[in-house]
Amino acid sequence: MLDTHDPATWGPSLDAAVDAVHRGAIIVLPTDTVYGVGANAFSPPAVAAVLAAKGRDRQMPPPVLIPAVRTVDGLARDVSEPARALMEACWPGALTVIVRSQPSLAWDLGETGGTVALRVPDHAAALALLNRTGPLAVTSANRTGQPAATTAEGAHEQLGDAVAVYLDAGDSPLGVASTIVDATGDRLRIVREGGITRDRIVEIVGEDAVAGDDG
């Protein structure tokens, strides 16, 4: 466990995590929602290792954490105005947005159907890491079917030696998963409600931009 509670002292811990990412290993990192297990989004073997650690197959590709809204256009295309409005209003924060990925990108996240799920986490240590590593493929730090870990120790209990570096920042601030919004259709579709409510989404983009429960 490497301590990342204090920006004044977390330098060596982040160095170790950055080194692990660069060599294709997988790490556990704190976020605002729950702890995540992740790796270099542009390394197919590393992404495969993340899925294997979770016991997940390619049919459930991991989201990608990014350091800032400005990163979106390098990874996504045809991003709608409502999707951009959500990103600007809710990032950093507990919102994951599914968009169409740039077809030229040299990555393999699994069976994505040409899409990618993006999020900017609202956590200082995670953002400091992402600013050094670039986009990371990150999913909740737990075995599939088990509760998401809200502490580094909880992640270690489930993932063990499959992970090269565990960054410990204490309890996850929210302790609930992010809200997932699919922005690839004509209207925004809430796939999973989590840290951001439907009411908040409607407040930002308007009722007409959000699909109802039937679509």
Instruction: Look at domain 2-78+87-177 and name its CATH class.
Output: alpha beta
Q: DSSP string of the chain?
A: -EE-S-TTT-HHHHHHHHHHHHTT--EEE--SSS-EEEEETT-HHHHHHHHHHHT--TTSPPPEE-S-GGGHHHHEES--HHHHHHHHHH-SSSEEEEEEEPTT-----SS-TTEEEEE--S-HHHHHHHHHH--EEEEESS-TTSPPPSSHHHHHHHHGGG-SEEEE-SS-SS-SPPEEEE-SSSSBEEEE--SS-HHHHHHHH-GGGB--TT-
The pTM of the whole model exceeds 0.85: yes
pLDDT at 113: 87
Averaged pLDDT for residues 108-134: 94
Please state the length of the chain.
Answer: 215
Which residues have C-beta within 8 Å of that of residue 21, sequence separation ≥ 6? 27, 39, 40, 46, 133, 136
Q: By percentage, how much of the chain surpasses pLDDT 70? A: 99
pLDDT tens profile 181-211: 999 999 999 999 999 999 999 999 999 999 9
pLDDT tens profile 58-79: 888 899 999 999 999 999 999 9
Name the residue ranges covered by the structural domains of the chain: 2-78+87-177
